[in-house]
Amino acid sequence: MAHVAAAGIAAAGLGLLGTVWVAAVTGDEADGRIAAPEFAVACRPAAAPSPAFSRPIPPGAAIDVRSGQLVRGVVEAAASKGFVLAVRRFTVPVYEASRDTPRRNVRLTAPWAPRRVLRSVPIPSSARPDPGSDGHLSIVDRETGCEYDFWQARRGPRGGWSASWGTRAALGAGVLAGGLSARASGFSLQAGLITPAELRRGEIDHALVFHYPYTRAGGFVPPATQSDGRSRRPDALPEGARLQLDPALDLDELELEPYERTIARALQRYGMLLGDTGGAVAVFASHPQGYGENAYAGLLPDEDFAPLGGIPLDRLRVLRLPRLRH
């Protein structure tokens, strides 16, 4: 993910940034410790999961006129770079906080960040960011109804935390205002993640998020609210594009692993939304380190990236793209 928040955040001003509760750094916060109890501001819970992720694609959904050309770009990228499920790298570890989880102030270090601290974040002692260069980390605080998302999170030697960017949103929000998200497209980090429980029961009831090498420069389409797209290729996809696996495809005719079949069914019913620029075509599993055990044992290959080569990408279609936004 390239940093894209600068313009959106600067334009948003402090009023919009009130949703992430930031403040200037002071000396006694250098290691993130909070000397006295701080008020844990509650998030307004989302009334329902974001329809961008929870609503099935209706029968007869319109297909984009350029779908064939755009899908050929996806097939080409997968042939050279792979189509995978990111499990242990370049995905998102999710940790659960409790009432007793210590709260810390997290320094925000990106040069474009208008404020320097995200305050009173409940960070479990076991929390670690993803080892990839994006360093994503997400924390669930059900006590307050908040999700805390971080890009390039780092734990210091004294236990303090910093990140290039961090934000706080209501659980289930799915899509954040432009400039606030820790993901390039404006989606929350937990939106679209595949969990061990879903693979175990063989059903995913939401859209997936994927990253892709050829993300279009110059704009995005809803439900995305921002973009790090940089490709000028004619087959580049704008962030926010929804791709669907042909619902007429008979999965019983394919030699799919059980996890591939579960993912393929979700792609037929909900599709996948382009959420980020990445080196391969990849969807995301919640990182197993967030569970404190090998939660995917018996569900996925014991690899950083589980192959999805059995799913025929040439049977994807791009649903009608909304007007490009900037």
pLDDT of 281 > 60? The answer is yes
Q: Mean of the pLDDT values across residues 97-120?
A: 92
Strands 83-86 and 242-245: what pairing? Answer: unpaired
For residues 119 and 25, the answer to whether their CB atoms sit within 8 Å is no
With CA atoms as reference, report the closest residue to 223 among 268, 270, 185, 188: 185
pLDDT of residue 24: 36
DSSP state of 278: -
Percentage with pLDDT > 70 across the chain: 86
Q: Is the pLDDT of residue 1 over 70?
A: no
Residue 102: partners with Cβ closer than 8 Å, 6 or more residues away:
34, 122, 123, 125
For the question of whether the overall pTM of this predicted structure is more than 0.85, the answer is yes
Mean pLDDT of 163-189: 93
Q: What is the mean pLDDT of the chain?
A: 89
Q: Band the pLDDT of 17: cuts 50, 70, 90.
A: very low
Is the pLDDT at 287 greater than 80? The verdict is: yes
pLDDT of residue 41: 60
Task: Return the pLDDT at 113.
Answer: 80
pLDDT score at 46: 64
- pLDDT the model gives residue 269: 99
pLDDT of 27 > 80? The answer is: no
Count CB atoms within 10 A of the CB of residue 128: 15
Side-chain half-sphere CA neighbours of 234 within 13 A: 4
Query: What type of residue sits at position 285?
Result: A
Asked if residue 2 has pLDDT above 80, the reply is no
Q: What is the pLDDT of residue 7?
A: 40
Give the model's pLDDT for residue 112: 84
Give the tens place of pLDDT for each residue, 41-66: 668 766 577 899 999 999 999 999 99
pLDDT at 190: 97
240 phi/psi in degrees, rounded to 5: 105, -15
Report d(CA 155, CA 126) in Å as an integer.
11
Task: Report the percentage of the chain scoring pLDDT > 90.
Answer: 79
